[in-house]
Amino acid sequence: RVYMDNHATTRVDPRVVEAMLPYFTEEYGNPGSVGHEAGDAAREAVEQSRATIAAAIGAMPAEVVFTSGATESNNLAIAGVATRRRRRGDHLVSVATEHAAVLGPLRRLEKQGYGLTLLEVEQHGSQSAGRLRPEDLASALTDETCLASVMLANNEIGVVQPVAELALLCHGRGVPLHCDATQGVGRLPVDVGRLGVDLMSFTAHKLYGPKGIGALYVRGSGSGDRPAVRLEPQIVGGGQQQGRRSGTLNVPGIVGFARAVELAVEELAAEVQRLAALRDDLWRRLEALGLGAELCGPGLDAVDQSGGPLRLPGNLDVTFPGLDGESLLLRLGGLAVSSGAACSSSDPSPSHVLRAIGLNEDQARSSLRFGLGRFNTAGDVEFAAEKVAAAAAELKRLG
């Protein structure tokens, strides 16, 4: 079996599991408990982990709020800021290609009467397909805009957005910028100061950590001359995390998250090169199958003005004209990838991301997404290309 669906989730690194284990059976105290050692030890582990995670993204520990994952972080950021700032304005700006975990909270606010502008992106065929043009964001911002939300890297086509440039435009209009960096943290260098974001969501299970633990960076008053971001808590109760997110903290998850972030940062530079090389090899092999494979999203070698890649190193999204992605997927025997036909099992319509870059329904339904990760090897790439070739041949035979 070969797992090549690392945008969906990743295997927990054994080194992460090892770090977590004592926090189930030995140090199982509640970090909210005072007056005994069990509580103290749990609290210390949480605060050390918070400091590790904060340092990895260039933030202060107090700016990191733990959540159950990026979905919750996005909800807290979007609903939290929009509710808090409603009197100042009730217009939201985001992008058509965002993840459902951003579009969901935005649509809910729209139903509550907020205005919502979803921006289009560069089209299929362009070297920067999927990129938001900064000038489009600039012209969408109004005096009523209370928040803009733009992801760092797309979960389907891997396109990296010009977030630093977008942040400057937002700040020029006094608008805070939220960034869903779920696919970026651990896969690209991420520094909240350099990106200029005011809020940033990320999650452990995309970076070889456990599921069910994530974080939201919320800019505090200590960084730069911009005002601190204030948000309305979405989960209220015991007042943990300075009231920003109540609930007993997931100590083993937090410890694992910190270890996962630490490992990702240590290995990032080498891993970016290794994954891009594997990904490029996979593309060459798929192109050579004679199936008319077309790349979806930005060019593999495309870079921005500062030389940063326009595409996540481990990402490859390909459409195979005339072949149904779902049928291909079912015939890949032992190869785990995903199809643009149904990106979430509850929604049968083809990928809104592929549609937004201008693919028609058939093209979108004919796509496969490969997500290479830490545990993939050159042998896996060979296996993947062979499986696709065999599945395509079988489908063609069936006519």
Per the CB < 8 A criterion, the answer to whether 378 and 319 are in contact is no
Return the number of the residue (95 or 323) whose C-beta is nearest ligand PLP: 95
We find the least distance from the C-beta atom of residue 214 to ligand PLP, in angstroms, to be 5
Site string for ligand PLP, 93-132 (x = CB under 6 A): ------x-x-------------------------------
Tell whether residue 329 is a contact of ligand PLP (CB under 6 A): no
Q: Does 13 bind ligand PLP (CB under 6 A)?
A: no
Q: Determine the Cα–Cα distance for residues 208 and 6; give it in Å rounded to an integer.
A: 9
Backbone angles phi, psi at 152, to 5 degrees: -80, -50
What value, to the nearest 5°, has the Cα angle with vertex 100 and ends 95 and 102?
55
Residue 161 or 319: which CB sits closer to ligand PLP? 161
**Residue with smaller CB distance to ligand PLP, 41 or 192:** 192
Nearer Cβ to ligand PLP, position 177 or 392? 177
Alpha-carbon distances of 322 from 123, 293, 333, rounded to whole Å? 21, 10, 21
> What long-range pairs does 134-139 form, CB within 8 A, spacing at least 24?
134/162, 134/165, 134/166, 134/169, 137/93, 137/166, 137/169, 137/170, 138/169
Structure tokens at 152: 């760092």
Q: Applying CB under 6 A, which of residues 10, 52, 155, 234 lies at the interface with ligand PLP? A: 155
146, 170, 179, 343: the catalytic one is 343
Catalytic residue flag (residue 343):
yes
Based on the shown chain and the rule CB under 6 A, indicate whether residue 69 belongs to the binding site for ligand PLP: yes
CA atoms of 126 and 356, how far apart (whole Å)? 13
Element (H, E) at 202: strand 199-203
Is 314 a residue that touches ligand PLP (CB under 6 A)?
A: no
Residue nearest to ligand PLP according to CB distances in the complex = 69
For 25, phi then psi, to 5°, come to: -115, -20
One residue of 151, 190, 278, 332 binding ligand PLP per CB under 6 A? 151
Instruction: Give the interface with ligand PLP as residue ranges (CB under 6 A).
Output: 69-71, 99, 101, 151, 155, 180, 182-183, 203, 214
Q: List the catalytic residues.
A: 343
